[in-house]
Structure 1
């Protein structure tokens, strides 16, 4: 809704991001009746930065959403945790370990979804039939427990408040399979609520394993910490999940454990995998998005937009004498050579031809025969070509026909890149 309104009003990229972030904050805050959770969801996962100008609209949207659902009669579902004694440094290592385990589980789940999706693609099953097969599989798994199909808060509260049994392990494994099968077969959606549910199960299993090792870890506390840690690994947003636990439990002490585990999980996933679930899916589609920061401007800043018309061309079959007659020294620096069919054949520096002081084929002075730019390259890709070729100007060539479309100077590409970076920075900071 926020994106549609922004497009209709003709807002700038920065204003559009704030409006979309406000909408996401309102939806999340209403779902959990947690305004701070919703606000930080908008900041961390949509807008990408905590900027003063965006605080007012995002917080207003989150607060109004919570007030609206409460006015309409929706009841909150707090998670009740046992009283936690004063924490010491010795209480943190087990939950740091839980965060590291959560990172491994998060990466495994994201890769499993991709593996299932590739399996469906290789199976030859028509795309319209894949969701039906996935639905049958999820239904079969749910015969063990309806919680396997759950994506809401009901199963989450049930699992947090019950003991650690073998059934918890089975539900955990089957829920992972069901989520992977559902998304891999083509159903739309994400893993936000599923990650919360799976994280609570992971935390309970961790508490059971810790009990065997003689570590006094409370299952309910471990379930809440695991819930947030796994969600951070899959979805992202460590502060979002920390405020979610604070607002749903009302316990400040547990929030410190949650933040510690969330940071450990987030850093591990970032360094070893590099993606959240949403950015991983975009990466598989060929996008370069790795976070909430706006990179759309970079994709739009293509060589085709930056190039200028080719200023001078010459036949690759010509001679140096004819070249010097056509291009007096000091008039132009580079000339593009074209073959008999009008295709790109290299660049010639005019000064080099004059310094040679001899006659012969001009083709001998051709440089950068293979170092060319394509019109659909973005500016960072073009900068890489300039760097590898050690060139100050390159030709823009149609990749299909080999025809020269224009030229681009490295200094112009870098100037425009710096200009767009400054605009993006102002959008993030709310400056003029």
Structure 2
């Protein structure tokens, strides 16, 4: 019956009270959809500025450390001025290891909570300090050339700022979760110059659902983030794939076949990351030194092709712009997949968002070669297959079918191609869900012992624990109590049930008071031992409502005792099934009202 407990949400410190906004502004935002939308615009704008700042800092590190020309992308470099520069990731690994060592010295045992986990378990509460730590780690990793994207830093800091603003406004649980989604929406929208992509990233991956109540603030934040990015950097973040070409009804089967291949490769990449982590763990190399070791392996891969370094923006543009040979594409596909797995598996901080797009575009280009042999002039263009491949691969690893569909729409402005991509991402999503069951984020939660499958709010179920719902004013009696004594102490109508304990005050079972007054009882000097029920059924304080409900069904009892531990069985209280179901129904209704946008 033991249950792994998730990290506690970041606590509200004493300083939070001083950082709250004046009450009249809190009332405006808490009770007015327009006020919430204005806060969302502020959050989206801040997220857009932060995306620009983090991206510029990473690019500045690339230019400085790898001696690039201004504006040149690391993964698009043909080579390096000095061959020894391929070892820069190892230096970054040493620096990141120092950060990990300092964090360990602080005895930081609580895991860093990302936006998905915050919304799933903690009602949107995130630590801004933790978010800054993630940004620092991600910036070191990407800036020194590790094969990870910056999207983790973007969404973490955007959502962290949003959560902090929500705490200042004392937002309700549902609104807090929405604001965290707004932070992520503004960040992704700014990062890809794509407001619809950012909005549906928030709906599908951060909030976990779409509703009318969340539509206005999330879209407002995404638009704000995009407009801020366009204002300062123009279309620098836009992925240009050129002219994909026409699409016909007969092109759908080949696109779906490509999507299924992408799903298989996506699953393989996720499992490779896990196996790499296990390999580094078994190597007994100290945790702070693992990123440096991973950096040395990356150096070897970079000697084969520099396109494995960083997130892959420059390499993706090269993939679309140049007519690469099959040998080059195969080398890029294998090397980039391995580099991403080694980077994350060795301890570099970052995500696989852009890496999945890059890998999918390479797979699509390879599939285009096969399609040309099979269909000749009737085959889709390589750019179209690359677009389908990148969308399907991203869905397989990251999730969010509509997110990737809208990314394709905003990249091309072509509805027929968008419909083709939609069919492909649905096929890829279904394949992964039925064969593997996780995205990359939820797969890592699963490995940690968490049962999170999405950002749907399940934290309230965990908070609705037996320990919080139980009654402590229970009636008890020793196991050796005689029936005549029991009747004298517990007359009919005084209570419905009595918890029976042994001489060490450990739980034995429950006696229903009416059973002690049965006409079939002849010997009143006998003890109550023969009347004891539910000897093997006990609740634990940390059990949530669902677990307790299953135990009630198994015991077929209207009430069960709560004990501290299955071994010591010290009785702490009593919980009735009727109270459990009532509280569960109340919380379900509260979640329904939040989803519908009802505040009263």
Equivalent pair of 1:386/1:394 in contact (CA under 8 Å): yes
Spell out the pairing of 1:54-73 with structure 2 (5 A cutoff): 54-73=214-233
> Does 2:508 correspond to 1:345?
yes
Equivalent pair of 2:244/2:384 in contact (CA under 8 Å): no
Output the CA distance in 1 between the equivalents of 2:247 and 2:425.
20
Output the CA distance in 2 between the equivalents of 1:154 and 1:148.
10
Equivalent pair of 1:161/1:220 in contact (CA under 8 Å): no
State the TM-score, normalizing by the size of structure 2.
Answer: 0.69
Note the residue ranges of structure 2 that are not aligned, 5 or more in a row.
1-160
Q: 1:385 to 1:78 in 2, by over 3 A?
A: same
Equivalent pair of 2:308/2:339 in contact (CA under 8 Å): yes
> How far did residue 219 of structure 1 move?
1.7
Q: 1:230 to 1:83 in 2, by over 3 A?
A: closer
> How far did residue 257 of structure 1 move?
1.0
What residue in structure 2 maps to residue 357 of structure 1?
A: 521
> Does 2:572 correspond to 1:405?
yes
- The more displaced of 188-197 and 349-358 is 349-358
Pairs aligned (count):
431
What residue in structure 1 maps to residue 426 of structure 2?
A: 263
Spell out the pairing of 1:33-432 with structure 2 (5 A cutoff): 33-76=193-236, 77-82=238-243, 84-88=245-249, 90-163=250-323, 164-214=325-375, 216-355=379-518, 356-359=520-523, 360-399=526-565, 401-432=568-599
3-state SS of 2:533 partner: coil
State the TM-score, normalizing by the size of structure 1.
Answer: 0.95
Output the CA distance in 1 between the equivalents of 2:507 and 2:554.
19
Equivalent pair of 2:260/2:427 in contact (CA under 8 Å): yes
- The more displaced of 184-193 and 317-326 is 317-326
> How far did residue 350 of structure 1 move?
1.6
> How far did residue 16 of structure 1 move?
0.9
Residue by residue over 1:263-294, the C-alpha shift from the partner in whole angstroms, topping out at 9 and shown as x without a partner, is: 11112222222221111111222222111211
> How far did residue 86 of structure 1 move?
4.8
Output the CA distance in 2 between the equivalents of 1:377 and 1:314.
25
Output the CA distance in 2 between the equivalents of 1:424 and 1:271.
28
> How far did residue 353 of structure 1 move?
2.4
3-state SS of 1:196 partner: helix
- The more displaced of 126-135 and 219-228 is 126-135
Equivalent pair of 1:316/1:363 in contact (CA under 8 Å): yes
Question: How well do the aligned residues superpose, as a CA RMSD in angstroms?
Answer: 1.7
> Does 2:176 correspond to 1:16?
yes
- The more displaced of 370-379 and 157-166 is 157-166
Equivalent pair of 1:203/1:227 in contact (CA under 8 Å): yes
Output the CA distance in 1 between the equivalents of 2:593 and 2:216.
17
> How far did residue 57 of structure 1 move?
1.6
Note the residue ranges of structure 1 that are not aligned, 5 or more in a row.
none
Output the CA distance in 2 between the equivalents of 1:24 and 1:211.
40
- The more displaced of 348-357 and 237-246 is 348-357
Equivalent pair of 1:26/1:64 in contact (CA under 8 Å): yes
